[in-house]
Structure 1
């Protein structure tokens, strides 16, 4: 009998990797709490109509990627309901906001979630058919301040703080404005006109998008279409005065709190509910994600509540691909570890400095990369320096010098062993 395996596009998470997942989620919870966010948990499946109306029927998510089925009716009724495993969580959070009348208190709602999402897309590195997201939404009645550019900047500053606290290196924030719903409609019409004479030169997906949802063309990663895309009109030329002012306020607030960003005129994000501010955080090549290096993204959705039949409730949110975040942290940690020196020699007292330098010279002649501390360092300082610079630390005290048995601390393994001097070079290479 064949061994049963996990469905293609899904995977098991095992220790010790789950320790990193738990650390990431605990850090996210702690950072969100500092900014006044509370946790919301929505159902894993929702009515299909929620995503068709909220995300947009012409998006790739709704048209290609959702796991949808007809639920059988109750015993007293033969009428079923179309249900869908959630492909994203913003629509579900806004549905909960409306259903539970969370806006009636007139207060700003700051909500975060951590959980699985589902999309039937081609499995690739960092992208799975069951994947995990960490996300947050800020929404409420307009008088609660939910429309303010300050909310956009606060969310972006919080994300910068979270990535820094997790230790993500080299992140880059790309920022743009897609304007109001009126701006967006005007820009979509201009894009459709500009694409009409050239769409036949593009890939099949972009030919379809040029008709059904031209903003999605700007999201395309097809290398053969980039020259055409670069020549298309820019949305900045179609923003009304209010949208321009809102975007200027977002940028000014980010400047004031020291969050670096770049304005990307092509960044539109293709979901139908986005308005005004859109953003994306990416990481450098070599961070474990390949060429598709987006780590998280989001934007403002001032009309989504009305699209779902609720009251006016402007909002902004984001979703972090947790699988991709974990890959990035693992790749960057491995890269940092590879760059570390083989060992840090730590003399225990100034009187051992000469012996430490002699040992370092011997090990360097054996082809190892070695850093030497100073005997005036306190032991704690030596440990801190060694952990940053090298994979292992060799302690040189009076006992080690007299016995020829060195104490070796392996930081990755968390172990401390005794090694004869004649075997030290071989031990440090392991």
Structure 2
């Protein structure tokens, strides 16, 4: 068992080398509330504008999920790659699995009704083969959900692959951050279940200060894998349940009352952009959504800007984001982990940029019935350009399982919160779950 030590949070000014859509003192607020043209004028060249999908070379999107064996059969995540289609522009190409063809037509009709521009049907490559887009359309740039070993058939970039592997592993990343003077929560324990089946829960509980915490898989692309514990007995049960599995895990003490995320993008020219900050919505130990919010932006970015720069220096590209906890009483910020991939709020941010709307939020809406977007969300709540607000479903894949992922767009944060509440209120009681095994 390795004990991860506690370090104080470093503070400091943002480096002038950062190319940030937010800029200093939250200037993103000004540009987002202005017109699209003003935003584009601020960003500058077509190469830089690539990040907001107004210019730049055509891309091929690869939507591969490397999940734990069997996980997709339980949760329906095999249909999640469809959600990356919202990242595309009409000029882009996307590879989609033939499994999602029927759902794709429902999604495209929804995008058409809400006026959301995406790659057209003639720019879809239906294949389960990684790199199928590039075999048919060589020379495109790569925009992956996450850069995995499978992507090496498209681009052999060992530095990108290594930094993703490093940043996605909560234990390895914690070691790295300790060396730089940062820390995950005040105390954390990293272990491997098969090697440490007899991990002394009592010793861990004492080390955590007998405080509540959560257990996470060291690797994981889902916020569902974070059971909490409030007592030694609960921690013992969690460790016992892990003993038969061969997984790396992290036990972290909860150190704050507020959970936030800060998201970044690194373009092909190696420019680092800070995109947005959100408040995370947590229900029953599960991450269920994000609301765009800049309350803790300055304190968070004093840390995450440095970490993002480190990721850039190590070869990171594309989208990635940091999760943090904030102690509301003291304002102290703790970095929890990094998601070296497209995170859920990115889809909402992209939709807000495409429609020129000031604020966004994303959520997983549960308890819906039916098989289509119309079944799951009444069209009266869909985004309307005339009204300048509404909800866009960007992941209808798990609707047969009783849920979907959607983005609420509105001029104000209050409007976003109301839209998401309306969507959840109109969802009916959960229906019998469908197995895709």
Specify the TM-score bucket, using the shorter chain as the normaliser.
Answer: under 0.3
Instruction: Please give the TM-score of this superposition, normalised by the length of structure 1.
Output: 0.24
Output the TM-score relative to the length of structure 2. Answer: 0.24
Could you say which structure has the larger radius of gyration? 1
* Higher relative contact order (Cα pairs below 8 Å, separated by 6+ residues): 2
